[in-house]
């Protein structure tokens, strides 16, 4: 049974208001700004810029796979550099930075009813260190030997050996340095997000009244703070192996008839450290997407999110469980085979809270009043691709099924569907949703619908058939698919088709970028709350919100974030800061 | 309307693609039919869930799309429904996990009558070592790898003297006999993968990993490296020939043992192996060495 509490119970404020930092010049207002909203835009713009580089790299590798032998400049060496940089940029420098640095910075203070992040100066430093990390990463394209081609997983020993591009040149050193910088920068931002959610909430904003967007970003940040240190030490240790000749990850090696000066290290230790970070990383990207998509669906279906408490506990549960499943990336790594029993069990258990989230999204649609706005379209597309990608995870997580499929194109298709396409669709949905708040204008509807259909259907056509290449046994990370018995003539045709779809989907993103820029000046005026949403960011006195977010007085929160279509209320939404009772509120306590 | 229709088409299209497309696994040539069966079970369960969820969404989008005067229902929770869905999901997950773990325990427990075969990976070629008459492989160490001892067999171990070495050439296996593949690398990670056998495992320098299988069909099968091992990775192909017992013995009789290969007069014969041509490598700059190496691999 649902607990019934009065809607106007207001717990006292957790912290008193503090004096806000005020900028004194153009530089401190727009460049070295301590305002979380400006930092969010800086993060988003930088992430988008470097993301475009990764997009171009994906075109280059698809040129090679779709039309082998046609493009001479794509040597195996270059191909491995493309895939490595594409993967690393997309996972770390685009998705992590955009969800946490971009959406986290913009939305957390506004949604919890704070004037800014708790530590604005550290927040600013976080961005500038992130920018430095991106610049170091980009510099490797211009370094002698080019960027590293070790694969985004950077597995030693090959990552630091001469048979791998950048292994004995600057590539790997710059990559590891850039990751170390990224983690330092992220930690500064991450501590901010966590403390702001815990300590910066306005009066009445209890944890169980937070929008799921905040829950998703908050949990992901806590996870990132626990997971990134593992990557950090792994990077430092590999850097020592490479530069000072230590042997953390390097056993005795005979490279092309030559004995290397390493002995006694463990390559598999790196894999454990990497995936102890790497698996939570999947959810660091996914949980903010889960949270945001919940709010998109609820707002645009004009219905409360179904099973809010379950949704919160599912987010927390997934976050916790994701720390004990990492070795499912290592079933065929040669680790002790008995680990397989444990990690397959934990991995399949994580499917249960994940499935609950999916059920609750679709049950939110049930008996809703579904407005097929662009954010809603992206949310629906997210559910399709996420369910698809999640279900193929049940293949790869189930240890023995993983044996034939691991390291094949099936894996590539799976993780692109579940942590590439699905979260990116949420990013798009979120941008169409919040762009009016950030700029005061709507994005162009027609361009948006074009962008949606091409991106969604195109991405599905790229990655759904790709699973079957993997099922045939086509390995991933092959720069050349020649002289292989598994590569039938028709499989080559399928690869060409996938490549053509990739160019089309990439082109649609240019339309999106044009829309982003064009609409800043030419978009329809949005007003303060165009979607008639309940959460606090839509209740600001100015749009875009001014420095300090909420004018003279901070809002007081009287209800949860999902009072849509409350029986007895005149409007089909009641903002969180609206006092008074409209019939019995059935907000779960 | 259009959205609901597209969602239905995605389900129908995906199912038809699965059933009708020519892209499917290679015919199996080992005992791991169990793995294929587990994959089929997984396809069924996940396929039903995918269709159910997306079709339900399509129905919702069609039935509850916004029309003038519509208002959504207000239902924050439904504990009964949520519990039921949790239980059904748990049952489905168990139905996947139990057969999976059962087959995994078969996969990791090697039958006692399996013969051992060692596979050695190096950038970018495969070599093999089979036990001689004593049925035992001698110990090995990467630090003992030299031009004359490319697999690093420890010369002082008497068990190793009669080991049969197959350097950068095809491996033959007898049909119907379980084999335990002992996997070793002398430089970087590799992964011994024959799609038709369904099994694979990484090879780690400094460790010996394994998997086992029983070849069930005679024929020639391509070995692929399935763990990124540097720029020659996609060219690191090999060949496994599954023979009848008779053919296998004939082939085995022609191979040379470690003792024969180590004897001074025999070294010239092995110089044609690609690994050997790299012997004076120390005098060449690293970049050139790689290029030369890639050429050797590419020309095979």
pLDDT digits (tens, 9 = 90+) for A204-239: 999 999 999 999 999 999 999 999 999 999 999 999
For residues A514 and A587, state if they share a domain: no
Query: Hey, of A257, A566, A569, which one would you mutate to test binding to chain B, going by the most B CBs within 10 A of its CB?
Result: A257
In a domain, A311, yes or no: no
pLDDT digits (tens, 9 = 90+) for A103-147: 999 999 999 999 999 999 999 999 999 999 999 999 999 999 999
The residue from A497, A526, A555 where one domain ends is A526
Taking CB atoms and an 8 Å limit, are B103 and A477 in contact across chains? no
Residue whose structure tokens are 């003792």: B259
A60: Cβ contacts below 8 Å, ≥ 6 apart: A74, A78, A82
Identify whether residues A85 and A178 lie together within a single domain. Answer: yes
Average pLDDT over residues A383-409: 95
Domain limits for position A497: 373-526
Give the pLDDT confidence score for residue A13 in this predicted structure: 53
Using the predicted structure, report yes or no on whether residue A588 has a pLDDT greater than 70: no
**Structure confidence by residue, pLDDT tens digits, A16-53:** 666 777 888 888 888 899 999 999 999 999 999 999 99
Q: What is the CA radius of gyration of chain B?
A: 27
Give B262→chain A minimum CA distance, Å.
17
Res B115: pLDDT:
94
Q: Does residue A182 fall inside a structural domain?
A: yes
Query: Which residue in B has a C-alpha nearest to residue A269's C-alpha?
Result: B204
Largest CA-CA distance found in chain A, in angstroms, rounded: 82
Rounded distance between C-alpha atoms, residue A21 and residue A548, angstroms: 9
Question: Could you tell me the two tokens for B282?
Answer: 């120390």
What part of A 76-95 touches B (C-beta under 8 Å)? 76-77, 80
Residues of A in contact with B221 (CB under 8 A): 485
- What are phi and psi for residue B116, nearest 5 degrees? -90, 140
The predicted pLDDT at position B271 comes to 44
Interval B14-33: pLDDT, tens: 999 999 999 999 999 999 99
* Separation between Cα atoms, residue B223 and residue B168, nearest integer Å: 12
What is the DSSP pairing of strand B179-185 with strand B115-122? parallel
Q: B65 — contact with chain A (CB < 8 Å)?
A: yes
Res B266 pLDDT > 50: no
User: Do A546 and A287 contact (CB within 8 A), yes or no?
Assistant: no
| Statement: residue A402 has pLDDT above 90 | yes
Tell me what pLDDT residue A453 has: 97
Q: Residue A280: inside a domain, yes or no?
A: no
User: Chain A: residue nearest B290 by CA?
Assistant: A163
Of A406-410, A441-445, A577-581, least confident by mean pLDDT is: A577-581
Residue A297 has pLDDT above 90, yes or no: yes
Dist CA B230 CA B234 (whole Å): 9
Query: Whose structure tokens read 């379209």?
Result: A377
Q: Is residue A588 part of a domain?
A: yes
Torsion angle in degrees (nearest 10) through CA of A511, A512, A514, A518: 130
Place of tokens 């044996």: A403
How many residues are there in chain B? 300
Is A457 among the domain residues? Answer: yes
Asked if A551 and A408 sit in the same domain, the reply is no
B121 near B185, Cβ under 8 Å? yes
Reported as half-sphere exposure (CB side, CA atoms, 13 A), residue A258 has a value of 17
Task: Kindly report whether the peptide bond that precedes residue B179 is cis, defined as omega within 30 degrees of 0.
Answer: no
Q: State yes or no: pLDDT of B249 exceeds 60.
A: yes
A506 and A539 both lie in a single domain: no
Distance separating alpha carbons of residues A28 and A12, to the nearest angstrom: 34
Tell me: do A482 and A550 sit in the same domain: no
Q: Are A149 and A80 in contact, with CB atoms under 8 Å apart?
A: yes
pLDDT, tens digit, 9 for 90 and up, residues A337-395:
999 999 999 999 999 999 999 999 999 999 999 999 999 999 999 999 999 999 999 99
Give me the pLDDT at residue A585, please: 54
A380 interfacial to chain B (CB closer than 8 Å): yes
How far is the C-alpha of A118 from the C-alpha of A195, rounded, in Å?
7
Say how far apart CA A346 and CA A435 lie, in whole Å: 39
The bridge status of strand B256-257 relative to strand B209-213 is: unpaired
Q: Tell whether the model's pLDDT for residue B298 goes beyond 90.
A: no
CB nearest to B195's CB, from A265, A308, A486 = A486
Cross-chain Cβ contact B61/A471 below 8 Å: no
Q: Contacts of residue B287 in chain A, CB cutoff 8 Å?
A: 162
Same domain, A544 and A512: no
Of A87-101, B147-161, B207-221, the one with minimum mean pLDDT is B147-161
User: Tokens 């209740």 appear where?
Assistant: A539
B241 phi and psi, to 5 degrees?
Answer: -110, 120
In this predicted structure, what is the pLDDT of residue B290? Answer: 55
* Per-chain mean pLDDT for chain A: 93
Q: For residue B96, what is the enclosing H or E element?
A: helix B79-108
Q: What is the mean pLDDT of chain B?
A: 88
Asked if residue A577 and residue A487 are part of one domain, the reply reads no
Q: How confident is the model at residue B133 (pLDDT cuts 50, 70, 90)?
A: confident
What span, in angstroms and rounded, lies between the C-alpha atoms of A497 and B20?
17
* Residue A573, strand partner residues: A564
If you average pLDDT over residues B281-287, what whole number do you get? 40
Distance, in Å, from the CA atom of B182 to the CA atom of B118, rounded to the nearest integer, reads 5
Chain B touched by A346 (CB under 8 Å)? no
Q: Would you say A575 and A538 are in contact if contact means Cβ atoms under 8 Å apart?
A: yes
- Among A129, A119, A171, smallest CA distance to A149 is for A171
Give B286's pLDDT tier (boundaries 50, 70, 90). Answer: very low
Residue B184 · residue B140 · CB < 8 Å? yes
What is the percentage of chain B residues whose pLDDT exceeds 70?
Answer: 88
The encoded tokens of residue A360 equal 């609750």
Q: Based on the domain organization, do A180 and A38 belong to the same domain?
A: yes
Question: Could you say which of A332, A485, A486 has the minimum Cβ distance to residue B202?
Answer: A332
Q: Kindly list the residues from chain A whose CB atom is less than 8 angstroms away from the CB atom of residue B3.
A: 372, 377, 380
Residues A439-445, mean pLDDT to the nearest whole number = 96
Query: pLDDT digit string (tens) for B158-213?
Result: 999 999 999 888 999 999 999 999 999 999 999 999 999 999 999 999 999 999 99
Judge whether B290 and A162 are in contact, CB under 8 Å.
yes
CA A259/CA A146 separation, integer angstroms: 26
CATH number given to B115-273+288-298: 2.60.40.420
In angstroms, rounded to a whole number, what is the distance separating the alpha carbons of residues A559 and A576? 5
Residues A571 and A458 reside in one and the same domain = no
**Please, are residues A137 and A93 in contact by the beta-carbon 8 Å criterion?**
yes
Q: At what angle do helices A105-112 and A171-199 cross, to 10 degrees?
A: 10
A449-458, B108-117, B138-147, B258-267: least confident range: B258-267
Q: Is the peptide bond before A544 cis (omega within 30 degrees of 0)?
A: yes
Q: Where are the domains of chain B?
A: 2-64+78-108, 115-273+288-298
Question: Are A252 and B191 inside 8 Å of each other by CB?
Answer: no
Per-residue pLDDT of A51-64, as tens digits, reads 999 999 999 999 99
Compute and round to an integer the Cα radius of gyration of chain A.
Answer: 24
Do the domain assignments include residue A259?
Answer: no
**Arithmetic mean of pLDDT, B81-89:** 94
Percent over 70 (pLDDT), chain A:
95
Last residue of a domain, one of A480, A502, A526: A526
- Asked whether the predicted pLDDT for residue B274 surpasses 90, the reply is no
Query: What's the per-residue H, E or C state across A161-173?
Result: CCCCCCCCCCHHH
Whether omega before A157 lies within 30 degrees of 0, making that bond cis, reads yes
Minimum CA–CA partner of A332 in chain B: B201
Give me A306's structure tokens. Answer: 């179904």
A434/A519 same-domain check? yes
The CA–CA distances, whole Å, from A419 to A232, A387, A422 equal 22, 11, 6
Give the pLDDT of residue A389. 96
Under the banding of pLDDT at 50, 70 and 90, the label for residue B263 is: confident
Tell me phi and psi for residue A10, to 5 degrees.
-120, 105
Q: At B60, is the secondary structure helix, strand, or coil?
A: helix
- Flag whether pLDDT at B67 surpasses 60: yes
Q: What is the pLDDT of residue B288?
A: 46
Asked if the model's pLDDT at residue B272 lies above 60, the reply is: no
What are the Cα distances from residue B196, in Å, to A476, B99, B143, B150, B222? 17, 21, 34, 29, 9
Judged by average pLDDT, the poorest of A293-307, A408-422, B137-151 is: B137-151
* Range 15-44 of B in CB contact (< 8 A) with A: 17, 21-26, 32, 34-35, 38-39, 42
CB-CB neighbors (< 8 A) of B86 in chain A: 352, 356
In degrees, to the nearest 5, what angle opens at C-alpha A356 toward C-alphas A355 and A357?
A: 90
Rounded Cα distance, A219 and A320, in Å: 9
Q: What total of structural domains would you count in chain A?
A: 3
Q: Which residue of A has its CA nearest to B87?
A: A352
Q: What are phi and psi of A103, to 5 degrees?
A: -65, -40
A93: in domain? yes
Q: What is the mean pLDDT of the segment spanning A74-90?
A: 96
Q: Write out the H or E segment, with its range, that includes residue B183.
A: strand B179-185
A564 vs B contacts (CB less than 8 Å): 72, 74
Contact B184, B116 (CB under 8 A): no
Task: Report the percentage of chain A scoring pLDDT > 90.
Answer: 89
Same domain, A428 and A540: no
| Final residue before a domain boundary, out of A480, A504, A526 | A526
Alpha helices in A398-488 (DSSP H): 399-405, 409-415, 422-439, 445-472
**β-bridge mates for residue B256, sequence order:** B165
Whether omega for the bond prior to residue A454 falls within 30 degrees of 0, making it cis, is no
Contact B226 A359 (CB under 8 A): no
Element (DSSP H or E) covering residue A383: helix A374-397
Give B-chain residues touching A464 at CB under 8 angstroms.
Answer: 14, 17
The answer to the question of residue A213 being in a domain is no
Q: Which residues of B touch A348 (CB under 8 A)?
A: 93, 96-97
Same domain, A390 and A466: yes
For residue A89 the two structure tokens come to: 């940029």
Q: Is residue A308 predicted with pLDDT exceeding 60?
A: yes
- List the single residue in B96, B205, B211 with the smallest CB-CB distance to A253: B205
b/e per residue, A36-52, with b = 16+ CB within 10 A?
bbbbbbbbbebbbebbb
Q: With CB atoms and an 8 Å threshold, state whether A341 touches B104.
A: yes
Cβ-defined contact of B14 to A155 (cutoff 8 Å): no
pLDDT at B246 over 80: yes
């Amino acid at each position: 049974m649902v607990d019934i509490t009065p809607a106007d119970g207001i717990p006292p404020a957790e912290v008193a208001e503090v004096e806000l930092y005020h900028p004194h010049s153009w530089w401190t207002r727009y460049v070295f700004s301590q305002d979380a909203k400006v930092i969010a835009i800086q993060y988003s713009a930088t992430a988008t810029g470097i993301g475009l580089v990764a997009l171009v790299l994906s075109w280059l590798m698809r040129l090679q796979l779709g039309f082998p032998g046609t493009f001479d400049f794509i040597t195996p060496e270059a191909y491995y550099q493309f895939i490595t940089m594409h993967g690393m940029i997309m996972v770390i420098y685009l998705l992590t930075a955009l969800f946490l640095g971009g959406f986290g910075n913009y939305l957390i203070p506004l949604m919890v009813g704070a004037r800014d992040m708790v530590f604005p100066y550290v927040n600013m430093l976080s961005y500038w260190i992130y920018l430095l990390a991106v610049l170091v990463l980009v510099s490797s394209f211009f370094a002698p030997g080019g960027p590293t081609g070790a694969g985004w997983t950077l597995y030693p020993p090959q990552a630091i050996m001469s048979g791998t591009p950048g292994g004995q040149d600057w590539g790997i050193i710059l990559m590891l340095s850039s990751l170390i910088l990224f983690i330092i920068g992220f930690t500064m931002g991450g501590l901010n997000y966590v403390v702001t959610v815990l300590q910066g909430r306005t009066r009445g904003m209890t944890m169980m009244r937070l929008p799921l967007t905040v829950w998703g970003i908050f949990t992901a940040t806590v996870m990132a703070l626990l997971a990134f240190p593992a990557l950090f030490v792994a990077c430092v240790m590999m850097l020592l192996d490479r530069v000072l000749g230590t042997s953390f990850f390097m056993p005795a090696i005979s490279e092309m008839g030559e004995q290397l000066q390493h002995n006694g290290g463990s390559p598999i230790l790196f894999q454990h450290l990497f995936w102890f970070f790497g698996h939570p990383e999947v959810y660091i990207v996914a949980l903010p997407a889960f949270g945001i998509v919940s709010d998109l669906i609820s707002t645009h279906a004009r219905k409360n999110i179904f099973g809010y408490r379950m949704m919160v506990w599912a987010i927390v549960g997934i976050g916790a469980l994701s720390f004990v499943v990492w070795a499912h990336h290592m079933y065929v790594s040669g680790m002790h085979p008995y680990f397989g029993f444990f990690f397959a069990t934990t991995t399949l258990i994580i499917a249960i809270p994940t499935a609950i989230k999916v059920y609750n999204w679709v049950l939110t649609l049930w008996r809703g009043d579904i407005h097929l706005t662009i954010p809603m379209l992206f949310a629906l597309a997210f559910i399709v691709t996420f369910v698809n990608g999640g279900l193929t995870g049940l293949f790869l997580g189930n240890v023995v099924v993983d044996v034939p499929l691991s390291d094949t194109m099936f894996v590539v298709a799976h993780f692109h569907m579940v942590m590439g396409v699905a979260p990116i669709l949420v990013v798009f949905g979120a941008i169409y949703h919040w762009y009016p708040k950030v700029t005061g204008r709507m994005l162009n509807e027609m361009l948006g619908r074009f962008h949606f259909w091409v991106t969604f259907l195109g991405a599905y056509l790229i990655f759904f058939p790709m699973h079957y290449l993997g099922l045939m046994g086509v390995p991933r990370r092959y720069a050349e698919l020649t002289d292989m018995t598994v590569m039938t003539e028709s499989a080559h045709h399928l690869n060409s088709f996938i490549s053509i779809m990739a160019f089309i989907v990439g082109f649609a993103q240019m339309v999106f970028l044009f829309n982003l820029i064009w609409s800043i000046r030419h978009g329809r005026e949005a007003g303060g709350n165009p979607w008639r949403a309940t959460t606090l960011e839509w209740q600001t006195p100015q749009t875009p919100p001014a420095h300090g977010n909420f004018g003279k007085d901070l809002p007081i929160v009287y209800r949860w974030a999902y009072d849509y279509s409350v029986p007895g209320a005149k409007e089909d939404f009641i903002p969180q800061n609206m006092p008074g009772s409209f019939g019995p509120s059935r907000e779960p306590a | 309307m259009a959205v609901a229709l597209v969602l239905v088409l995605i389900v129908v299209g995906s199912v038809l693609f699965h059933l009708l497309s020519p892209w499917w696994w290679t015919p199996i040539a080992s005992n791991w039919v169990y793995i294929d069966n587990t994959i089929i079970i997984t396809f069924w369960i996940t396929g039903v869930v995918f269709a159910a969820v997306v079709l339900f969404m399509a129905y919702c989008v069609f039935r509850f799309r916004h029309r003038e005067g519509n208002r959504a229902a207000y239902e924050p929770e439904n504990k009964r429904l949520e519990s039921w869905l949790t239980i059904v999901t748990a049952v489905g997950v168990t139905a996947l996990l139990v057969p999976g773990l059962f087959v995994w325990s078969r996969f990791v427990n090697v039958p006692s009558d399996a013969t051992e075969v060692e596979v050695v990976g190096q950038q970018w070629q495969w070599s093999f070592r089979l036990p001689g008459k004593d049925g035992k492989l001698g110990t090995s160490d990467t630090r003992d790898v030299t031009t004359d001892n490319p697999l690093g067999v420890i010369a002082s171990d008497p068990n190793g003297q009669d080991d049969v070495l197959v350097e950068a050439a095809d491996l033959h296996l007898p049909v119907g006999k379980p084999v335990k593949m002992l996997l070793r690398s002398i430089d970087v990670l590799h992964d011994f993968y024959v799609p038709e056998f369904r099994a694979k495992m990484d090879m780690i320098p400094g460790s010996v990993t394994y998997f086992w299988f029983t070849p069930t069909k005679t024929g020639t099968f391509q070995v692929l490296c399935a763990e990124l091992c540097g720029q020659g990775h996609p060219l690191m192909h090999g060949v496994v020939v599954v023979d009848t017992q008779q053919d296998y013995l004939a082939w085995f009789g022609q191979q040379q043992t470690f003792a024969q290969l180590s004897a001074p007069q025999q070294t010239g014969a092995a110089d044609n192996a690609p690994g050997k041509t790299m012997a004076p490598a120390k005098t060449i700059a690293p970049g050139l060495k790689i290029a030369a190496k890639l050429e050797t691999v590419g020309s095979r």
